[in-house]
Structure 1
């Protein structure tokens, strides 16, 4: 079988210049090859703070009771999922054990509970 190799002309290859990362002050915005680098605009200090996302201290109207009931409902749902998962895993294991017994040709595979 012949070895099929793709021939790529040399004019399709390009070497990209590696620029290491710098601090945010010195970071450069991507620019076309050959164009002078463009500096990123720095935001004024008043735009960098997070005060616009803070709640006012006198307007905190947290509904503690509603939040706790929601947390309790989420906990109950998680516990129910865990219990159902455990029950499902044990019942599948018991069925697998019974099925293996039957497939081996045994006759006493039924699980008889003792009083």
Structure 2
């Protein structure tokens, strides 16, 4: 855990999402800023936490957020590459589905937002099977 200088509370380690060099056009920058504005307003245990929006030393926009271990898409790929046969255990699938449903319900009902890109690579996972 690290202390967030912006929030004054204990927070998880941070992950940074920044525009790649050469991909810094105004449209991409505006999308990242909009994502940061939306994420800053969201407070739900199954949605990745906002930490800060800042610029790197070379002037690129950067969104700092709660760090998760991996995404569901990579977990599925890793499982296939390791040759693990069969589906995930039903309890694991239900855990993921319930957490995802809670997060989407919060977005749709409480925040009146539509995610627009729900897929396994956008389901972020912490080390304790809490899904974001």
- TM-score bracket for the superposition, by shorter chain length: under 0.3
Relative to the length of structure 1, the TM-score reads: 0.21
Higher strand share: 2
Q: Which has the higher contact order (CA 8 A, sep 6+)?
A: 2
Max Rg structure: 1
Relative to the length of structure 2, the TM-score reads: 0.19
